[in-house]
Structure 1
Amino acid sequence: MIKIVSLMSRRPGLTMDEFIAYYEEKHVPLVSRLLPFYSDYRRNFAVEGTEHRTGHMAPGRATERLFDVMTELTYESEEMYRKTVDALAGKEIGRIIAEDEARFLDRSSIRTYIVNERR
């Protein structure tokens, strides 16, 4: 299993509601149609105006939110992950996805990591 986590921020000028609506109603169906190789696709949207703080956190910690959504993509195999990477490297699918992302994301904010999930 391969899991990818991306931290992303919305395009300036979009409200959180507009951002979520575009992501869920436009981008998710597009990704599902063009890149159907994942086994799970989760979006975790930050709740505006909230920050989870507990007493053990150091005072003076920055409160600026670093992302609006944490996206998780899970692939059952290296082969399925590679299909996604190869498709995105292609001119047509890569262009379509990038153009759509520019409609609702600050593309310069995207940070993507391969992670090891532990339970």
Structure 2
Amino acid sequence: MIKLLSVKTRREGSTREAFRRHYEERHVPLGLGFIDRFRWCKYVRNHVLEVRAGRVDFDCLTEFWFASRDDQASTRSFATAPEFAVLDEDDPRFLDVSKRLSFEQEERLVAGERPAFQPPGSRRVSAIFARPDSIDPDVFARGIEAELRRLAADDLEAGTWLSIDRRATAGVRPEQLAVIVSIGSAPGRPPARMPWKGAIEPDAVVVLDAVETPADRLWSGAQARTA
């Protein structure tokens, strides 16, 4: 499957709470009204609950998953259709559109078991890494992988899972969100610790709250392809 990450930042003067309310109660239903045109097989909004270290310029990391390149291309073409205007017009009501950013990611589960669907209350702690031009890509990758192995072997709490997302396409601001390392917890449990001790330090550590749309509310063709 193909994973596209869209970085969302609230408009100036708004709050994280108001941003989330508009996104979930207004914008998401608008989008789902065109679900035959949006060929997503998985749709998750990861809202920032807490910034434990550093700082971030976003309020939500939204995942759009596609079963094929054809589905992705069909969805992209809808963005040029006249019907899409209602979504474009809604964006500035809650988003800082100047900070929009999207790119593909390669996701890998490193340790533990993660549910196929994230029910309400699913939270994870994520370490966010940029990769400046001054850092050799191979050195950066080796440093991240070494600490991942240590975490998986020595420092992962029972009942949690460990994953890594690597930025797979460049686009604008290619150094940002180059890697995201996450430790997820079961619903109802407090967010896990992020005991990162690697030589390459994260730019920020955040707690994310996942809101996933059930598969039966997504494009019906996606269910058939992923069954």
Q: Which runs of 5+ in 1 are unaligned?
A: 54-62
* 1:36 has 2:27 as partner: no
Partner of 1:5: 5
Q: CA deviation at 1:93?
A: 3.2
TM-score scaled by length of structure 2: 0.45
Alpha-carbon distance between aligned partners in 1 of 2:101 and 2:83, rounded to the nearest angstrom: 20
The alignment partner of 1:45 has SS state of strand
* 1:19 has 2:55 as partner: no
Higher relative contact order (CA 8 A, sep 6+): 1
* 1:85 has 2:76 as partner: yes
Q: Which runs of 5+ in 2 are unaligned?
A: 110-227
Alpha-carbon distance between aligned partners in 1 of 2:68 and 2:29, rounded to the nearest angstrom: 22
The alignment partner of 1:118 has SS state of strand
| Percent of aligned pairs with the same amino acid | 32
Alpha-carbon distance between aligned partners in 2 of 1:89 and 1:96, rounded to the nearest angstrom: 12
Q: CA deviation at 1:51?
A: 2.5
The alignment partner of 2:46 has SS state of strand
Q: Counting helix residues as a fraction of each chain, which structure ranks higher? A: 1
- Partner residue of 1:46 out of 48, 61, 69: 48
- Partner residue of 2:92 out of 88, 94, 102: 102
Higher radius of gyration, 1 or 2: 2
Alpha-carbon distance between aligned partners in 1 of 2:88 and 2:71, rounded to the nearest angstrom: 20
Q: Please list the CA deviations of residues 57-78 of structure 1 after superposition, one character each: whole Å capped at 9, or x if unmatched.
A: xxxxxx3322110000001111
| Coordinate RMSD, CA, aligned | 1.4
TM-score scaled by length of structure 1: 0.82
How many equivalent residue pairs?
107
Alpha-carbon distance between aligned partners in 1 of 2:83 and 2:68, rounded to the nearest angstrom: 21
Q: Please list the CA deviations of residues 26-63 of structure 1 after superposition, one character each: whole Å capped at 9, or x if unmatched.
A: 1111111224310111011111xx3234xxxxxxxxx3
